[in-house]
Amino acid sequence: MLLYRNARRFDCTDQIGNRYVVVEQICDAAPRERRIDYMTEDGDIADRLDEHRFLLLMKDKIVEIRKRK
């Protein structure tokens, strides 16, 4: 069984202004095989494209990271 810990949260918006929170989850089950996954608070799978964008696979949308104030 893989145990994940939540690391960071990203505030994101899509092209029409819908807000999403993407959660970075880290699995340290085996040090050589460290795994990082991303998902929204609603449980949709997300993939990180670069430092500023995620792709929400279940919604087929690209969302931008908003900088926190």
**Domain spans, the chain:** 4-65
In tens, the pLDDT along 24-41 reads 999 877 667 778 999 999
Weakly modelled stretches of the chain, pLDDT under 70: 1-2, 30-31, 67-69
- Predicted pLDDT at 16: 85
Residues in the chain: 69
Average pLDDT over the chain, rounded to an integer: 84
- Predicted pLDDT at 17: 86
3-state secondary structure of 10: strand
